[in-house]
Amino acid sequence: MKLDQAESEYLEWIQFAPSLPESFHRLVGVNIKDRYQVTHHLFPHLRYSKNVIDYFLAHIIFPKEMKEFPEKLSASGWDIGQQKIHPTTGFSGTNDSRDLLPLEIKQLDLDDQLHTNALVLERLLQLENNVVLMSRPKEEAPLRNAFLTFVRSLDPPVHVILDVGAQIIELTNIQVAHEWLKIVPLEEEKEAVVFFDDADELCAIDRKGYVEKLQTSPYSHRLDLCIVYLDEAHTRGTDLKLPTGYRAAVSLGPNLTKDRLVQGK
């Protein structure tokens, strides 16, 4: 705590922590840099202390998450789509969501675009695209490991994973990237994995575990040295100039709609 009265504030905290060991009854006895001490000997006794909770709400959570403004402008999809002098127009790459539009919005299907759905389906059914079923993994094997191993076994090799079906949900993107890179042999000359971090920034992680924003990394113009993992939330709207010949694996899942599939693919 970076406070002038840190000691007195800490004494307020421990009033509601009767089980706290006596060695931690003074702030000078706490070493914040000792992660094991904090997580195993201090935090379990303070986690339900009302004064601790009040402090973090008042000084950390509320100042960041609860901001007040003198005026507020809000609108829903129905407000935006209502009839008015200057109508709102928009564009969508697919027309599968027409049933979800507000009643005042009418979708205009242009004559020269009517063949688009058939063209998309034709491309999905091209000979170079095929569907491969993954066998059920053993009970003791996590699905994420089985999925990555399965993708690794495909021939020709896969350089891009598009997790449209959200098959990997128990790991963060950086963890998936790290696990995938571990099973890619060195002789394939792939040095890094491109992925989105928790801040929705494109990043690259190399074999040493070093993470850097893709734009400032040495791989920004050397994507031929990278493989790519895109989670379900980022399979739409991401544009990467990948080398010719790169092959992608697109995961499927329950209740996957056609528009999500074709936009993610």
Residue 53 and residue 158 in one domain: no
Residues 6 or more apart in contact with residue 220 via CB below 8 angstroms: 214
The tens digit of pLDDT for each residue in 143-195 reads 667 888 888 988 889 999 999 988 888 889 999 999 999 999 888 889 999 99
Average pLDDT over the chain, rounded to whole?
A: 84
- Indicate if the pLDDT at residue 112 is higher than 90: no
For residues 240-261, average pLDDT: 86
Q: What's the rounded Cα separation, in Å, for the pair 218 and 221?
A: 7
Q: Is 168 a domain residue?
A: yes
| pLDDT-above-70 percentage for the chain | 92
**Per-residue pLDDT at 116:** 82
219/236: higher pLDDT: 219
What is the C-alpha to C-alpha distance for residues 240 and 263, in angstroms, rounded to an integer? 14
Phi, psi of 122 (to 5 degrees): -60, -40
Cα distance between residue 101 and residue 129, in whole Å: 32
Residue 255 lies in a domain: yes
Which of residues 65, 83, 103 is at a domain's end?
A: 65
Containing structural domain, residue 18? 6-65
**Sequence-distant (≥ 6) Cβ neighbours of residue 204 within 8 angstroms:** 192, 193, 194, 195, 211, 212, 213, 214, 217, 219, 226
**Residue 78 domain-assigned (yes or no):** no
Question: Is pLDDT of 228 > 90?
Answer: yes
Residue 83 forms part of a structural domain: no
Domain membership of residue 79 (yes or no) is no
Assess whether 59 and 147 both reside in one domain: no
Identify the pLDDT of residue 225: 94
Residue 233 in contact with residue 241, Cβ under 8 Å? no
The DSSP annotation for 155-173 comes to SSPP-EEE-TT----SS-H
pLDDT tens-place string over residues 132-141: 887 776 665 5
User: What is the separation of C-alpha 225 from the centre of its chain, rounded to a whole number of angstroms?
Assistant: 23
Residues 165 and 252 in one domain: yes
Buried b (16+ CB within 10 A) or exposed e, 81-101: beeeeeeeeeeeebebeeeee
Predicted pLDDT at 211:
93
Does 142 score more than 80 pLDDT? Answer: no
pLDDT value at residue 191? 93
pLDDT tens by residue, 57-103: 988 888 877 777 788 777 777 777 777 787 777 766 677 777 777 77
Give just the sign of the alpha carbon dihedral 144, 146, 152, 154. Answer: negative
Number of structural domains the chain divides into: 2
* 258/235 Cα distance (integer angstroms): 14
Looking at the structure, tell me whether residues 165 and 250 fall in a common domain: yes
* 197 pLDDT more than 90: yes
DSSP 25-64: SSGGG--TT-HHHIIIIIHHHHTT-HHHHHHHIIIIIHHH
Residue 226 maps to a domain: yes
Calculate ∠ Cα 162-244-233, nearest 5°.
Answer: 20
